Amino acid sequence: MVKCLIDAKFVWHNLDGGSEMTPTVSIITPIYNASGLVKQFIAMISHQRLRDIELIMIDDGSSDNTIEVVEDTIARNNRDGLRIELIKNHHVGPGSSRQTGLEVAKGKYIYFADADDFMHPELLSLCVQSLDRSMADFVYFNYRNVEKYDPSTFETIGVSESKSISMDAKQFGEYYVHNSADLGFGYLWNKVFRADKIREWGIKFPAINTEEDAVFLFDLYAHSRRIEFLDYYLYQYVNNSASITHSRRDLQRFADNLRIRCDKCMWLLTDVWGFPPNALQARVILRLVVATIQLEIGNNSSLLTAARAWSRSRRDNYFQQLLKYLNLVPKMTTTADAIVRGLLRLKLDLGLVVLVNTIGKRK
């Protein structure tokens, strides 16, 4: 059956005999020119121990044969309980694609996965057990950055083993301020969400191509009251230099989106959670400052251009905020905090090293 909604075409594929029961989890995955990934991805989903899954794949206007590969894989897949929807969309970016998937998802819980990463077979079952037991607004878990899939790094999990921590919003905020780099503050794929809460709070993805996941999460964090943490490594994020996370061809758009993320993060940490200036805020602004300098440099790789860009950035409002937060951070509690504070002691001249390194990589 094919039906149209707004600008997207929906193709429905039910692999469980046409059951209309509400799935336990809806997995939402945008795909773009991913013909070499989707077969392996669908196979990975089919090996999840949780059986009642709805997989929503949104093709974001692929120019290769991604759609054909997906349809062929669906036709060959006979995994009971797995329902797959392929949504054919225009090239609107991951944020709008995820929002499209969210609007048609039927699951009690929502999970956002990337097609080029890898999930522990117990990921969904453990998260569902945790959410059912705790009634938390969402659950999050550990992950690893890898260059390629390595099943040996996935730990063996006992059936009766429990490694969970419950926390309220304030505890969650404090934990993330000091551990954000390790626990994916702005990542979707190490969290499973309660669908009714997303809809109740009116949380939506912004129509931007980068940083949309972090902006979505910051709005959700602001509403959440109970959070569960599973101390398991359940996801492998594969470092992919060709992915949109690493491709900065449109630096102006990237810098603009990073400003949106920066402002939303500062609002969450200061206005919602009421934290004093801290190193996490400094790191967020530092990232924006470096991106702005890269935008200034453009394709001109001369040291003079880099020095001028650095000089101009020092007059920028975000740079002044960076100085303010670095000066006011009262106590360094992690290595990352110490590194950020070190930038202040060096009067941020270390930024020139970053620029020179960037220029060197361009040559």
State the residue range of the domain holding 346. 276-362
Residue 18 sits in the same domain as residue 163: yes
Task: Please report the pLDDT score of residue 324 as a whole number.
Answer: 65
Judge whether 264 lies within some domain. Answer: no
Judge whether 60 lies within some domain. Answer: yes
- Least confident piece of the model among 161-165, 176-180, 333-337, 355-359: 355-359
Judge whether 257 lies within some domain. Answer: no
- Residue 19, pLDDT above cutoff 60: no
**79 near 194, Cβ under 8 Å?**
no
Residue 43 sits in the same domain as residue 166: yes
Residue 321 sits in the same domain as residue 233: no
- Residue 71, pLDDT above cutoff 50: yes
CA–CA separation, 347 vs 258, rounded Å? 24
Task: Please report the pLDDT score of residue 50 as a whole number.
Answer: 94
Residue 291 sits in the same domain as residue 218: no
What is the number of domains present in the chain? 2
pTM given for the model: 0.81
**25 near 109, Cβ under 8 Å?**
yes
CATH number at residue 190: 3.90.550.10
**59 near 86, Cβ under 8 Å?**
yes
- Residue 110, pLDDT above cutoff 90: yes
257-286 tens-digit pLDDT: 888 988 898 899 889 998 887 777 777 777
CA–CA separation, 303 vs 20, rounded Å? 63
CA–CA separation, 131 vs 137, rounded Å? 8
CB atoms within 10 A of CB 207: 11
217-256 tens-digit pLDDT: 999 999 999 999 998 889 988 876 555 554 445 677 777 8
Judge whether 341 lies within some domain. Answer: yes
Judge whether 267 lies within some domain. Answer: no
Comparison of pLDDT for 311 and 292, the residue scoring more: 292
- Residue 61, pLDDT above cutoff 80: yes
- Residue 97, pLDDT above cutoff 50: yes
Residue 285 sits in the same domain as residue 136: no
Residue 137 sits in the same domain as residue 45: yes
Average confidence score pLDDT of the chain: 77
Residue 176 sits in the same domain as residue 310: no
Task: Please report the pLDDT score of residue 62 as a whole number.
Answer: 92
Judge whether 254 lies within some domain. Answer: no
Q: How confident is the model at residue 332 (pLDDT cuts 50, 70, 90)?
A: very low
Which alpha helices (H) appear in the chain, and where do they start and end? 38-46, 66-76, 94-104, 123-134, 169-183, 195-201, 212-223, 251-266, 279-297, 303-313, 317-328, 335-345, 350-362
Taking residues 337-351, report their average pLDDT: 48
Judge whether 13 lies within some domain. Answer: yes
Residue 226 sits in the same domain as residue 323: no
CA–CA separation, 339 vs 343, rounded Å? 7
How, if at all, do strands 53-60 and 82-89 pair? Answer: parallel
